[in-house]
Structure 1
Amino acid sequence: MTEYNFELHFVLPEDRPDSEDHLDALFEAGCDDALVGAGKLGHIALDFTREAKNAEEAILSSVENVMSAIPDARLISASPDLVNLSDMPKVMEKWEVAHLTRQAMRKYAFDQVKKVMRPFPAEALFNGTSLWHMNEVVSWLLDNGKVDRPDRAQELLDLTNSARKLNAALEYARNKAPAFDSFISKVAH
């Protein structure tokens, strides 16, 4: 079993937008391994540290626990997925994968390091902000030998792949695409 650390972001039901109203139900539903953040009325973020056989199981079981506690909540996103240059080293440090600085990540991202196996992943621009998919960054770091703990990097790659897939499925469902599967239709209504 591996311990996975990730965040899930939900919109709360309109008739009960205060996250405080849901804390007991979340605990009783099995979310005792999450820190609950309530920065904006009508929204809730849960920072999970969950043990599971794989990342997908950890994320999906957490979503199911939240949905059983707050049936009308709507899952918005899972992270880590999209990250900026400052977030990359923080995620790596949290996972004990590598001790990299923002400056090092910037050098990699802007091709200022010549001895690499392949170019740094392409960025995705959002409103003028450069973001990268963390799974592509972890894969690049592994391929280029820039990690201290390859075993932990593989676990992080598993997690970031799962978060990205879930976010893609949620986006697909939100855009009124045909039903993706029964799980997505339950959480992305």
Structure 2
Amino acid sequence: MKTFEFSIIASGVDPTADDFGDRFYDAGCDDALVAFQKGHTIIDFAREADSIEEAIASAVENVCAAGAKVDRIEPDPLVNLTEIATRTEMTRAAISNYAKGARGKDFPAPVARVTSDTPLYDWAEVASWMAINKKIPAELAITAGVFKEANSAIAEGEIHLSDRLKKRAKDDELALAEAA
């Protein structure tokens, strides 16, 4: 088993209730720190599981069992160039050169704030590009895809994510292997 760290941003529970923390613990979130910040319940997990998809799926079910509504899972799927550098353990200058096309072709285009000085990129797309171009391990790209799929499923109202996340991880693994 491996330990996976991520956060679930949730709503729908009263942070002033006497049983606020106990609700999550009793629902299976005994491997998480529960806090209330900026109007949201934040559950920071360090969950042991065989895979990231199992860790996320079980955590979402536990948070829902505590009576909360899962809003999203973080780390954030939208990243700027500085965040890409941090996540890939590369320099900001190297990432900037990739984005400008000075080092490599077809770096993913920004998806938000396109005309600003700090455009945002889809982390799953960037991670896939980086893995295909042998800049990061394939596992990092697969994990990014699983987070993206989990957030899509949550936006669609799904809370039982296990099969969907396993399929996404397997599809990404096959796509990266074919591209290599």
Common topology (TM > 0.5): yes
Structure 1 counterpart of 2:82: 86
Partner of 1:102: 92
Amino acid at match of 1:133: D
Query: Is this contact kept in 1: 2:63–2:70, CA < 8 A?
Result: no
Alignment of 1:1-189 (within 5 A): 1-13=1-13, 16-18=14-16, 21-41=19-39, 43-69=40-66, 71=67, 73-80=68-75, 81-92=77-88, 99-113=89-103, 116=104, 118-126=105-113, 130-147=119-136, 150=137, 153-154=138-139, 156-173=140-157, 183=160
TM-score by length of 1: 0.70
Unaligned runs of 5+ in 2: 162-180
Question: How many residues are aligned here?
Answer: 158
Letter in 1 for 2:93: Q
Which residue identity is paired with 1:67? C
Q: Which runs of 5+ in 1 are unaligned?
A: 93-98, 174-180, 185-189
Counterpart for residue 178 of structure 1:
none
Residues 131 and 141, structure 2, Cα contact 8 Å, conserved in 1: no
Per the alignment, do residues 20 and 137 of structure 1 end up closer, same or farther by CA in structure 2, a change over 3 Å counting?
farther
Letter in 1 for 2:53: E
The percentage of aligned residue pairs carrying the same residue is 36
Shift of 1:62: 0.4
What's the TM-score once normalised by structure 2's chain length?
Answer: 0.73
Q: 1:47 to 1:55 in 2, by over 3 A?
A: same
